[in-house]
Amino acid sequence: MAPLKVGIAGLGTVGAEVVRLIEEQGRLLSARSGRGIRVVAVTARSKVKKRGVNLRGIEWAKSPLALATDPNVDCFVELMGGSGDPAFSAIEAALKAGKSVVTANKALIARHGIRLAKAAEKHGGTLNFEAAVAGGIPIIKTLREGLAGTTVNRVYGILNGTCNYILSRMEQEGLTFAECLKDAQRLGYAEANPSFDVDGHDTAQKLAILASLAFGTKVSQSAIYVEGISSIKPEDLRAAEELGYRVKLLGVAVRTAKGIEQRVHPTMVPKSSSIAQVMGVTNAVTIDGEGIPPITLVGPGAGGAATAASVIADIADIARGVHTTPFGRPVEKLRETKKAPMERHEGGYYIRLMARDVAGTAAKIATHLAKEKISLESIVQRHPDGIDPTGAGKSSPMPIILITYATHEDAVRRALAAVQHDKIINGKPQVIRIEKN
């Protein structure tokens, strides 16, 4: 067979690595795919930038759109990023021209995935995006193909290396969120403006894609409840350690009697669980399915080599003629999904209160919890060792840590609102949801 002719838009860290690997692993790719794979054209913002790869003999297209519609290109690879143009227009043009497309662009798939999947189905092309979620972990292929005959009940995971790095450092070294974030920025793990990562939006985009594959729903980032990690304190991580938990920012999509619940938030997971062992910038995804034990895939969530490996795996599938619907089933079979109110969420909770050291405080807290039928699995009360900063000679507020049995979020919110109304605690209660194995 004639070689698969590839055009690559975007020659950053990942794009350059893809070019290098195709050049160096050409014989291996040909043997595994049944045909050669050759980069015939590229495009990027700068033509003169040093990239450390050999581009001799490769055509330079004047724009992503020109590359996407080049009749000499069979497979268009988009590695520019961004949820809009030029990436969107170029991919759509390539699909409408009947070409196959590979992308690592999670933002684009989360926003326009359904429209692009329709174009791929209508015009006979393939839309592959393994590298869009969890970099080097083959989670897309696992959900779409490996578990095609399995009913998935829950998929959850650590999908953002920046947040996992920060929480790992906070736990291991007792540092504050601000200290760890500054260090993550210095090391290049966090952006100068880190809000997209630490506020949970990056994880939400990835979760939207996984939920679609797992449950046959249309990709909808707006259907996800999102909460970031900036409120987590070192004392929460110390308490988690003592109670047998570890705090992770998780993206969770779960099948419930009321529909598909999708949420991103700091979560306490048992230290005995596979996902609790994942530290640093590493990603992990766990799948719970009917008739099988939980499956956990662990690996690098970003980085040039890991992401490029997933991109090349997608290209190799196209070369060998593997053709699958982008989201595991035709777009017309995907169901609409609505945002599940977090008030309906049911599970265990960690609650930390800074209680005022006055008579009857603990009893009042217990009364409000009992009124909402909230049962406690454990309660830890720490004696204060400081003096009130007002100088009145009173003890400092006393930390009370509660672990609840499974209850509803609206009950927890009502109970804590009543506690705050009684003015028996200082500040805002800290609430972290617990995700059992």
Catalytic site residues? Answer: 206
What whole-number distance in Å separates Cα of residue 421 and Cα of residue 212? Answer: 41
Please, what sign has the CA dihedral across residues 44, 45, 47, 50?
A: negative
| Contacts within 8 Å (CB) and 24+ apart, 172-180 | 172/279, 174/234, 174/238, 175/234, 176/233, 176/234, 177/229, 177/230, 177/232, 177/233
Hey, which residues does 230 pair with through a beta bridge? none
Cα 100 to the chain's mean position, in Å? 26
> How many CA atoms does the CB half-sphere of 426 hold within 13 Å?
13
Q: Is 386 helix (H, G, I), strand (E, B) or coil?
A: coil
Is the backbone of residue 320 left (phi > 0), alpha (psi -120 to 50) or beta? alpha
In this structure, the strands spanning 376-381 and 75-78 are unpaired
Hey, which residues does 39 pair with through a beta bridge? 6
Instruction: Decide if 165 contacts 198 (C-beta within 8 A).
Output: no
What whole-number distance in Å separates Cα of residue 319 and Cα of residue 370? Answer: 62
Nearest to 78 by CA among 108, 123, 48: 108
**Contacts (Cβ under 8 Å, ≥6 apart) of 203:** 159, 160, 163, 226, 249, 250, 251, 264
Q: How far is CA 288 from CA 108, 193, 343, 424, in A?
A: 27, 35, 24, 42
- H/E stretch holding 180 reads helix 177-187
DSSP label at residue 3: P
Rg, the chain, Cα only: 25
Burial of 150 (0-12, 13-18, 19+ CB in 10 A): middle
